[in-house]
Structure 1
Amino acid sequence: LIPETPTPAERLTDAPLPPELTLDRWLTSWNIDLLWAIVAGFAIFFYLVGVWRLRRRGDAWPVYRTIMWVAGWLLLVWVTGGVINVYQDYLFSMHMVGHMLLTMAIPLLLVPGAPITLAARAIHKRDDGTRGGREWLLWAVHSPVARVLTNPFVAAGLFVGSLWVFYYTELFRWSLYDHLGHEWMIAHFLITGYLFVMSLIGIDPVPYRLPYPGRLLLLIGVMAMHAFFGIAIMMQEGLMIAEWFGAMGRTWGATPLEDQYTGGGIAWSIGEIPTLILAITVAIQWSRSDDRETKRRDRHADRTGDAELEAYNARLAALAERDARTRG
């Protein structure tokens, strides 16, 4: 028997070309990445154990944090094992959808879960001078490496700079041809997105955070660079990794160049939606922070009987009396 000649897609991906992407396949197409399914399972399990420990000893933990944490990891499982994973090797646009979800949407769900705060409260503190899980966690949070990576300017630079470096260097090709490169891509964009979101709206402790006006200005700058990246891809006259996306032998869907244009539009438009949510969240946190500060001052005034105001008025009266004596 004459061996069957592999198709271009099979030569490149070691898998047959999937059928045309239709609406129903967004829910029914699966190719589970076992690594990230296991990571997500452990992350959810240990988080729920931490919440259970707190509640068992009578401490409260907001339900919305648990919901967002679980939702973030379930979204990661879908991104790495659902329709995006099935089609991202064949459609640049699907690759970009996955990228936007990894670096923006998923961190926007995970960061409010405050896993470090939960762990610090749930893990027992050691009193014998040795280091346990809680002590090592707090050491890592305050380590020099963490101090650098969580700096808002470094986090923003990694977040937006990674876009350009990844897609315009050999890293993009490595992620397509090598499974290790693909896994590195997922981890990298997940971590850089998490660091950036945490620097803006995180509850967990970090060595330094910008004041709220600075956070909004930084976010506006990142939004501009992110939009420019999407436009740059849309203006590309040639294919990125042409020997890959242009050689799949697809007979369905948009042409590779049209699909690449769509991918740039996704990075420019749809990718800005999580950024807008970030801006709104920062603004809300800023407003609540002002409210808390006002209430704190009111409580202080109630406790001291407006002593500060009375002292200030007394100083003004003394100055006025002195001026009157001088003129007299």
Structure 2
Amino acid sequence: MAVPSGVVSSVVASPVLAHGGDHVAPAQAWGAQTIVPVVLAVALVAAYVAATARYGRRMPRPWRAGRTLAWTTGCALVAVALSPALAVVPGDATRHMVQHLLLGMLAPLALVLAAPVTLLLGAGSPGVRRVVGRVLRARPVHVLSHPVTAAALHVGGLAVLYLTPLYALTTRSAPAHVLVHAHFLLAGYLFAWALAGPDPAPRRPGTATRLVVLVAAGGAHAALAKLLYAHADRLPPGGVHAAADVEAAAQWMYYVGDVAEVLLAVAVLAAWYRAHDTRDVAGARLTAAPPTAAPVAT
């Protein structure tokens, strides 16, 4: 999927400034860290809007405004996550947790609901459509986009970060911090796409399977937050935060995670309702169609 790759550019740029720019004056660092995510977000929104205009010229129906709003919201959430605006959240562990929640749960859902692959298929050239179709039919994509695989990558990434020395490494290493942000954004996008994405996804399991996976992933996410809260004095390993700060971060993880999972469940059920409503309307039209009159013999 080509969509998150552009967003990942913003993930790569801002943390490098944040971790590698200690020699920069505070005002300069603040300005650079603010401008880079904002410029990238504006560029992504502008590219999306341009694609919707092309889509409107080539397709019988105009692009839905709600999807454009979803894309704009997702890009804005990524920009906020990578900007110094989060410095107002008390505590370093809490700030990092809010970043991870925005990048891994809330922004991906908004970006997925914008249906960027569908937009690309409608606005792109025949060559682009053929390439996208081959990618969607590829077996590795089928494996990665299965809800179980996506959930393992999504929740498993959080578990690895907070239960191993990886978190301590990200506080010392800008490349590690960048890779963690990129993983959260990509894994979160994949998880939301596998469960509730309006974009085409060959061999996507039924709604019941996706809801079961969502409940299981939500339970694992909540359990990890509780574990982090209960052992705030020694988790994450190698961390330098006060226990009270880790407890606050765990509460953010628990409650905001619940909100994100409820929104994802609503998106799954809304997609199911739209699919059934469309079939019901089509069936009603066929039933209501008057029978063709038989020719009169002369």
Deviation at 1:31, TM superposition (A): 5.9
Offset, 1:88: 8.2
Spell out the pairing of 1:67-86 with structure 2 (5 A cutoff).
Answer: 67-84=69-86, 86=87
TM-score normalised by length of structure 1: 0.73
Amino acid at match of 1:117: T
- Contact 1:174/1:181, CA 8 A, preserved across alignment: yes
Deviation, structure 1 residue 124:
1.7
Paired residues of 1:230 and 1:265 also in contact (CA < 8 A): yes
Q: Distance in 1 between matches of 2:159 and 2:113?
A: 27
The whole-number CA distance in structure 2 between the counterparts of 1:153 and 1:67 is 29
1:166-245 to 2 correspondence within 5 Å? 166-240=161-235, 245=240
How many residue pairs were aligned?
A: 268
1:100 equivalent in structure 2: 101
Instruction: After TM superposition, give the deviation of residue 68 of structure 1 in Å.
Output: 1.0
CA distance in 1, matches of 2:232, 2:40: 39
Q: Note the aligned Cα RMSD (angstroms).
A: 2.9
Partner of 2:140: 145
1:284-323 paired onto structure 2 within 5 Å: 284-303=270-289
Match of 2:12 in 1: none
Q: Deviations over 1:47-95 (max 9, x none)?
A: 12211112234641001101110121121111101322x4789611111
Q: Counterpart amino acid of 2:188?
A: G
Residue in 1 that maps onto 2:246: 260
| Maintained 8 Å contact 1:90/1:245 | no
Q: TM-score, normalised by structure 2?
A: 0.80
The answer for the alignment partner of 2:66 in structure 1 is 64
**Using a 3 Å threshold, how does the CA distance of structure 1 residues 52 and 295 change in structure 2: closer, same or farther?**
closer
Distance of 1:243 and 1:214 partners within structure 2: 38
Q: CA deviation at 1:12?
A: 11
| Structure 1 residue 207, shift from structure 2 partner | 1.9
Aligned residue identity for 2:245: D
Q: What one-letter code is carried by the residue in structure 2 that aligns with 1:155?
A: A
Distance change >3 Å, CA 133–CA 283, structure 1 → 2? closer
Stretch of structure 1 that moved more, 213-222 or 224-233? 213-222
- Indicate how the Cα distance of structure 1 residues 15 and 217 shifts in structure 2: closer, same or farther if over 3 A, else same: farther
Query: Is the 2:41–2:75 contact (alpha carbons within 8 Å) kept by the matching residues of 1?
Result: yes
Give the aligned residue type for 2:108. P
Question: What do the CA deviations read for 1:254-301 (whole angstroms, capped 9, x no partner)?
Answer: xx1101011111111122101111112222332333333333333333
Contact 2:228–2:247 (CA under 8 A) maintained in structure 1: yes
SS of the aligned residue for 1:32 comes to helix
Between 133-142 and 191-200, the greater mean CA deviation after superposition: 133-142
Separation in structure 1 between the aligned mates of residue 206 and residue 228 of structure 2, nearest angstrom: 34
User: How far apart in 2 are the matches of 1:172 and 1:219?
Assistant: 25
The code of the aligned residue for 2:68 comes to T
User: CA distance change for structure 1 residues 144 and 34 in 2, over 3 Å: closer, same or farther?
Assistant: farther
Alpha-carbon distance between aligned partners in 1 of 2:149 and 2:203, rounded to the nearest angstrom: 12
Q: Which is further off, 196-205 or 226-235?
A: 196-205
Structure 2 equivalent of residue 51 of structure 1: 52
Matched position secondary structure for 2:200: coil
Determine whether 1:277 maps to 2:279. Answer: no
Q: 1:169 to 1:237 in 2, by over 3 A?
A: closer
**Structure 2 runs not aligned, ≥5 long:** 1-18, 292-298
Percent of residue pairs bearing the same amino acid type: 27
> Which of the pair has more CA radius of gyration?
1
- Residue matched to 1:26: none
> SS of the counterpart of 2:82?
helix
In the alignment, the residues of structure 1 paired with residue 72 and residue 99 of structure 2 have an alpha-carbon distance, to the nearest angstrom, of 19
Letter in 2 for 1:261: E
Q: Quick one: which amino acid aligns to residue 167 of structure 2?
A: F
Provide the secondary structure at the position in 2 that maps to 1:145.
helix
